[in-house]
Structure 1
Amino acid sequence: MSRSDPRLYLEVPDVPFTEGLELPLPASQAHYLGNVMRQSTGDPVRVFNARDGEWNAIIQTLRKDRGTVRLGTRERAPQVTEGVELLFAPLKRDATELVIRMGTELGVTCFRPVVTERTNTHRLNLDRLALIASEAAEQCERLDIPEIQPLEPLKSVLAEWPEDKPLFAALERRPGADGPLVAFALLIGPEGGFSDAEVALLQKHPAVHTLTLGPLVLRAETAVCAGLARLALRRGA
């Protein structure tokens, strides 16, 4: 097996992986292997999920929208990504998809889109975003796929947010928190930033800490990347 072999997220409910087990491929993955990657019967692939780890496998059958793989040996034990939740205001479609892709690569465990006063869009294609997260996990070699929750109002999320789960909010032009505090989640606002009322609400919440991202005003998707990198440094990742 080679690191250049196709890598696929594959999980069959109630069927634990074992050597020699033959597993069906979803239609989309069969299409990807045959038509995009130009693979054929007998070619090696890698399959993975958080429950079973990562396994070597061989393509047993492959047609237009159907296929199976036979498992070989396990190469990596199950492992859950140690990261943070990401709360973010949805952006335009391409920017939102970029947030999902970069966040997955940077270890986000759960995406929680929130509605703020300046949120640009109130519509999300969760199935499409889940596919992007899955593809990003395949490319970056993590074993689990981050959860993507439905859109919620920021006020509702804050009202139910536990005081013992530190939430770092990227607030422009405000001093950031110091010290080795470990973050549970990161909040990034919309284009145009949070409203004054939202800033006041955040500053009153005992779990919220300000995270500074430098002296420049960043695009929202850039702020996601910068914020996740800052928190990774805080926890020594």
Structure 2
Amino acid sequence: MPATPAWPPKSAPRMFVAQRLEQGATVTFGGNSAHYLSRVMRTSPGAAIILCDDQTGEWAAHVVSIGKREVQAAVERQLRSREEVPDFWLCAALLKKDRFDLVLEKATELGVAAIHPVVTRRCVAGSLNADRARIITTEAAEQCARTALPALVEPAKLEQLLKTWPADRTLFFADEEGGLPAAQAFAGHTGPAALLTGPEGGFDDAERAAVRALPHARPISLGPRILRGETAAITGTALWMAAAGDWQH
């Protein structure tokens, strides 16, 4: 006798919604979301979809109706509670748009709790399109089956970041001039942590001195080669997740 197929199937569309989900709730999609479900994924009434609300977790639902401008779905049952991600911030200097888009996407996939864009003296970019950034992180979370969206903080100047740094959080500083090897520095670390990575031109001497003067800063090295800003941010985050984050489970 053939096994009963899993429901909802792993191939079901996965989407974040703004409303808090519960069994029996109705969710109405409009605009791009409706277009995605009806035209891109070609769902039909009865088709399974997976919904997340960044509050309660992940829910199985099915499409009830498809109209010209909206799609309605009914929530059936909870599949997973909202996940607990490591208390790890990525404080990455702003880069050119396409390169920082990559940082946003991969940081989300890797499991960071928050992304803090930082403005330094050598940054090529000085601002961030918040709506675009949230779309990128949301789509990345949907793709990797993450149930908790990373907090996306407004860009801040490095001086302000250091001035308001919380006393209970270690700041690992990816310094081009060297420090303790990252894997060694991260190993066995417990408690809130963050990683600071620089822009295309690196930190200037005054910025480097200011970061190193912070009592909670720990200079680290990401290897013998000079890494691009996006490479440093992604590599450093991956190393932290492997050594002290949730990759150990």
Q: TM-score with structure 2 length normalisation?
A: 0.89
Q: Which of 224, 228, 244 is residue 219 of structure 1 equivalent to?
A: 228
State the one-letter code of the partner of 1:230: L
Q: 1:194 aligns with which of 185, 203, 217?
A: 203
**1:184 paired residue number:** 193
The Cα shift of 1:227 comes to 0.3
Unaligned 5+ runs, structure 1: none
8 Å Cα contact 1:115-1:154 kept in structure 2: yes
User: Any conservation in 2 of the 1:34–1:64 contact (CA below 8 Å)?
Assistant: no
Matches within 5 A, 1:21-36: 21-36=25-40
Q: 1:40-79 to 2 correspondence within 5 Å? A: 40-79=44-83
Compute the displacement of 1:26 (Å): 4.1
What residue is the counterpart of 1:205 in the other structure?
214
Q: How much identity, in percent, do the aligned residues show?
A: 35
In the alignment, structure 1 residue 101 sits paired with structure 2 residue 102: no
1:142 correspondence with 2:120: no
SS in 2 for 1:25: strand
Q: SS at the partner of 1:46?
A: strand
Q: What is the CA distance between 1:78 and its match in structure 2?
A: 2.4
Post-superposition offset of 1:83: 4.3
RMSD: 1.6
For the Cα contact (< 8 Å) 1:50–1:80, is it kept in 2?
no
Choose which of 9, 25, 34 in structure 2 pairs with 1:2: 9
CA distance in 2: counterparts of 1:187 and 1:167, whole angstroms:
7
Deviation at 1:164, TM superposition (A): 2.3
Cα distance in 2 between the residues matched to 1:21 and 1:126: 29
Pick which of 175-184 and 149-158 moved more: 175-184
Show structure 2 runs of 5+ residues with no match.
Answer: 1-7
Scaled by the length of structure 1, the TM-score of the pair is 0.93
1:199, 1:146 → 2: CA distance? Answer: 27
Q: Residues 156-175 of structure 1 correspond to what in structure 2 (within 5 A)?
A: 156-175=160-179
How many residues align? The count is 234
Equivalent-residue separation in structure 2 for 1:82 and 1:65 (angstroms):
39
Distance (Å, rounded) in 2 between the aligned partners of 1:144 and 1:27: 23
Q: What CA deviation, in whole Å up to 9, does each residue of 1:19-67 have, x standing for no partner?
A: 2221112422111111221212221100012322111111112234311
